[in-house]
Amino acid sequence: MKDGPVIASVAALLGDPARANMLTALMDGRALTVSELATAAGVTLQTASGHLSKLEGANLLTTEKQGRHRYYRLSGGDVAQVLEGLMGLAQRTGAVRVRTGPNDPALRQARVCYDHLAGERGVELLGALVDQHIVADRDNPLLTEKGRGFFAQLGIDTTHLSSGRRPLCRACLDWSERRNHLGGALGAAILETMLERGWVKRDQGRVLAFSSDGLKQFRSAFGMAG
């Protein structure tokens, strides 16, 4: 029997429930300790350490040490994008939990996808940007000249963002909405601006919570109805 494609080894790592839970816990872009990840996966510290060693060995995770603690985070936004896509596939094919958790409605409404806005609000945002010709093409988003001026007024320097290695705009398929939201350097900058202005704040896990006034300002800033 011939060896399978390289994706087989990565798929095997992602297919373990404990490792999948750990990776999902890291999808909000923050670094977590072994203890925190063991809790997220529902396993012992020793078992968690074994799983994390495999994930780090496959370059899915990176680590940093501060004091006595070692912190783990996803090795990049591309890992989060693959996980988000797999969640969407699971949703479409019916491979979902029988019982939904208490945070599920909040996660569907607004959540962090590594470092950008996802969920209903994220899809709504990209739709508004496309409708106003700030970004062209929902499936392959490109910033327009009008968009550069728009984001400059919002305090986001898209020229500087474009000079980095990361793509400025990237379509990211939303697992709950099954439509694209905006990732890339611009998506990250938008969420950072929203957090700085207090429109939204981080809640439990990956959940993003809008205040009533924050939601109004968010929709007003991006020309959304309601």
pLDDT tens-place string over residues 11-27 = 889 889 999 999 999 98
Q: Identify whether the C-beta of residue 66 lies closer than 8 Å to the C-beta of residue 72.
A: no
User: Tell me, what's the pLDDT at 88?
Assistant: 78
Average confidence (pLDDT) over 73-81: 88
pLDDT above 90: residue 92: no
**pLDDT tens-digit readout, 138-186:** 999 999 999 999 999 999 999 999 998 899 999 998 888 889 999 999 9
Residues 58 and 168 in one domain: no
Residues 42 and 139 in one domain: no
Residue 1 within any structural domain of the chain: no
Residues 114 and 129 in one domain: yes
Query: In the chain, pLDDT over 70 holds for what percent of residues?
Result: 93
User: Tell me, what's the pLDDT at 16?
Assistant: 92
Residue 226 within any structural domain of the chain: no
**pLDDT tens-digit readout, 33-53:** 999 999 999 999 999 999 999
Flag the least confident range among 11-25, 88-102, 115-129, 185-199: 88-102
Higher pLDDT, 152 or 96: 152
Residues 86 and 61 in one domain: no
| Residue 100 three-state SS | coil
Q: Structure pTM?
A: 0.78
Task: Write out the two tokens for 73.
Answer: 């985070």
Residues 95 and 202 in one domain: yes
User: Tell me, what's the pLDDT at 62?
Assistant: 93
CA-CA distance, 177 to 156, in Å (whole number)?
27
Average confidence (pLDDT) over 183-208: 94
Residues 13 and 84 in one domain: no
Average confidence (pLDDT) over 92-104: 60
| Residue 111 three-state SS | strand
Task: Write out the two tokens for 176.
Answer: 């709950």
Residue 138 within any structural domain of the chain: yes
User: Tell me, what's the pLDDT at 218?
Assistant: 97
Interior/surface letters 29-64, b for 16+ CB within 10 angstroms, e for the rest: bbbbbbebbbebbebeeeebeebbeebeeeebbeee
Instruction: Report the 10 Å Cβ neighbour count for 144.
Output: 17
Q: Identify whether the C-beta of residue 52 lies closer than 8 Å to the C-beta of residue 34.
A: yes
pLDDT category of residue 208 using cuts at 50, 70 and 90 = very high
Q: Which residue segment(s) compose the domain that 18 sits in?
A: 7-75
Write the CATH number for 13: 1.10.10.10
